[in-house]
Chain A
Amino acid sequence: MTHLTDASALHKGKAVDADLVAGIPRRDFRLSMANLFIAFAALLLGGIAGLLQGFVRSGFLELPSWISYYALLTAHGVLLVLVLSSFFSIGYLYAGTSRVLGGLAPKTIAFGWTGFGLMALGTAIAAFFILSGKANVLYTFYTPMQANPWFYVGLALLVVGILLNCVGMFITYQSWRKQNPGQLTPLFAFFANAVFVLWVLASLFIAVFVVGMVIPWAFGWVPTIDPMIGRTLFWAFGHTLVNIWMLTSISAWYVSMPKIIGGKIFSDSLARVAVVILVVANVPGGFHHQILDPGLSVELKFLHVIQTFMIIFPSLMTAFAMLATMERAGRSKGITSLLGWWKVLPWRDARFFALIVAMFAFIPAGLGGIINASNQVNQVVHNSIWVTGHLHLTVGTTVMLTFFGVSYWLIPFLTGRTMTKTLNKLAIAQTIIWASGMLLMSGAMHANGLLGSPRRTANTTYNNHSEASGWAIYETIMAMGGVILFIGILLLIYIWVQLAFFAPKGKTEFPIGEDYNEKDRSPLFMDRWSIWVTLAFLSIAIAYVIPLWNFSTGHNPGSPPFLMP
């Protein structure tokens, strides 16, 4: 079998044959599009919330009494960080896996739709309570702040829906392996499987927290909750979520980008090694959100710092692989000068342009991450708006621009349309608008954070304190960045609607790169996920057993709920 081209159809000869598009059942396309539509809606609503936050924090706008700044903040976080990212990655990874494995298994489709339904229902319930002011707890919902109990039920349904999607992915992945013994899974499917394995690891922690602790406490069935256990479980989930977005994003960098630039995948095996390290080492990274927490010893925190630093290594591998891919693509076109290959990259192709701007954003984003994780240095920036700036470089720029770039081939691929030259130009403009808006907003946030301005705080002068008055100019720049970003969202929604409903009919390919060198293919054992999951549990145990044991035996009587508002 040739690697990563149209694989032998997984379900050849089944009744669905009559309904095939490019060898793939049409039902796979519908499932992916349904996920993408919710992602679109989440981006628009979350973007409106973000725009308003910028205006409120800088003092340009006062909200009507029926909605608080913190309700907007909760909506912005939940809709963009949880809803948009999960629905988009499921839509994208399902479509790509269907493309490289020749269709999804029928059971996968069943799990996919059930999961989709639960996720959509959960999102609707959570959104209702947030917007009606009954869940002003932000997306981290630190206990013992308490929202309306049904808000947590909504979140739990969202997570259960995601877990069903995980099962769906594992079914197709394993049935392909069974039908193709002795063959390595295509790289894209390997990435997709890794993302869903991380989802399972993340969901274990959040399920124990939400279903096992928060829901019984919020409904009043148990009197108290331990906030430190809650924070620990939340960040095991929260930081894993970060690498769920990153893995989803770099799947496009590793697999699709080479094809778009007319090159080949630099090294299949090194790509898989990077993926495996991210899966194995990722979860304990959550502890760098708790460097300033009480109840964790200095020694334990340092162990967590070392574990967090391990996640940097695969990023170094990715940086090398991306530039090497680009250089080799140029060399294969006959470029011999030292940097000439840089010029022949397809800068006017929006798919590539969005991706490479995303990669550039990851350089300062990654450096900021190292600063945040650096133990005592964390004291300088913790909970300042620097962290918000960091988050907008990582998920807001690197991940979002990658998702936007992916959508420029994913949507027309799914709807059987083509990206016109005009739409391509608009998409390039959108990328520039987005990057400029983020540069302004995130830059101002980083600077303001270093001056001490806190994150997640409504407009305040702290009784006209001289210290706080110096922050106002940065808040104005943040609001300006927010306006530019909102223009970017409107333009993006226009492009998406065109690609989904109005662009000319035609065939758009889902770009899947080929190997540069067959020698660089991975050994077969890379596909044995039992090894990687076992190692992941080992690294989780090293980080979590001691602190969770200490907390649960630490004579903390626990906290009763404090209802917000």
Chain B
Amino acid sequence: MHIHRYEKVWLIIGSLILLIFLIILAIQTFFLEMGPPSHAETIDPQTVRDSEIFADAGLKEIGENEYEIAIISEMFAFQPGDLEIPAGATVHFTLASPDVTHGFKITDTNVNVMVVPGHISKVSHTFDEPGEYLILCNEYCGLGHEYMASTITVN
């Protein structure tokens, strides 16, 4: 099999670029902890509403300007809905679905995670900039999908 010299050069440069990409991704993922949300914990979708985690849902302060909240993603709303937090607050979201698959996306942030029935998803974010952020479901979940949204106001 004959490979032209120019093709060798091209393929080596191309492969090196891909390798550099992978190294950067690996450093960010494993050393800077920027990996994608990957929580592994199951939950019976039919008991989500009664479960301890989601039963008394509300913003809980767990540290200095650090909050925790469990949100049920259901057709076609996030429960609890609109939230209010002070600027600079770090929020840890715990999410589950009692029905179909949903998405949890906060615009103007990198918060983006799937909420698949049977599993608990977790994602955290620090809200430095004040404003009214839009939370929306970005996975089709039925005929009312486009109404599934709420807000998070950062003061």
Contacts and interface: CB of A to CB of B under 8 A. Distances in A.
A557 interface: yes
A175 interface: no
B90 interface: no
A242 B38 CA distance: 26
Contacts of A559: 45, 99-100, 117-118
Contacts of A468: 134
Interface stretch (A87-95, A99-107, A148-156, A516-524): A516-524
B25 A374 contact: yes
A269 B1 contact: yes
Given A267-B2, A460-B147, A301 B35 contact: yes
A414 B37 CA distance: 52
B38 A312 contact: no
Interface string A394-416: 00000000000000000000000
A37 interface: no
A300 to B, nearest CB: 8
A462 B81 CA distance: 13
B15 interface: yes
Interface in A522-565: 522-523, 550, 554-560, 562, 564-565
Interface string B44-55: 111000000000
A379 B110 contact: yes
Given A294-B119, A383-B112, A465 B134 contact: yes
Contacts of B112: 292, 379-380, 382-383
Given A370-B21, A376-B35, A378-B36, A454 B134 contact: no
A145 B142 contact: yes
B25 A375 contact: yes
Contact of A296 (B7, B38, B108, B136): B38
Given A292-B113, A457-B145, A556-B118, A297 B38 contact: yes
Contacts of B119: 228, 293-295, 556
A522 B146 CA distance: 54
A556 B34 CA distance: 27
Query: Interface range on chain B: under 10, 10 to 19, 20 to 34, or 35 or more?
Result: 35 or more
Interface string A264-286: 00010110010000000000000
Nearest to B141: A145
A376 B111 CA distance: 11
**Most chain B beta carbons < 10 A, residue from A293, A468, A522:** A293
A296 B139 CA distance: 19
A145 B102 CA distance: 11
A313 B36 contact: no
Given A455-B138, A557-B46, A292 B37 contact: yes
A324 B107 contact: no
29 contacts: A145-B100, A227-B118, A292-B37, A294-B38, A294-B114, A297-B40, A298-B29, A301-B36, A302-B29, A312-B18, A316-B15, A317-B11, A320-B6, A324-B6, A324-B7, A374-B21, A375-B35, A379-B110, A383-B139, A452-B105, A452-B108, A455-B138, A457-B138, A463-B149, A465-B132, A519-B2, A560-B46, A562-B99, A562-B100
- Give me the 6 closest cross-chain CB pairs, A-B, nearest first: A452-B107, A454-B138, A460-B146, A294-B119, A383-B138, A556-B118
Given A231-B116, A379-B110, A559-B99, 11 more contacts: A144-B99, A294-B40, A294-B116, A298-B38, A302-B30, A384-B105, A451-B107, A452-B107, A457-B145, A522-B1, A557-B46
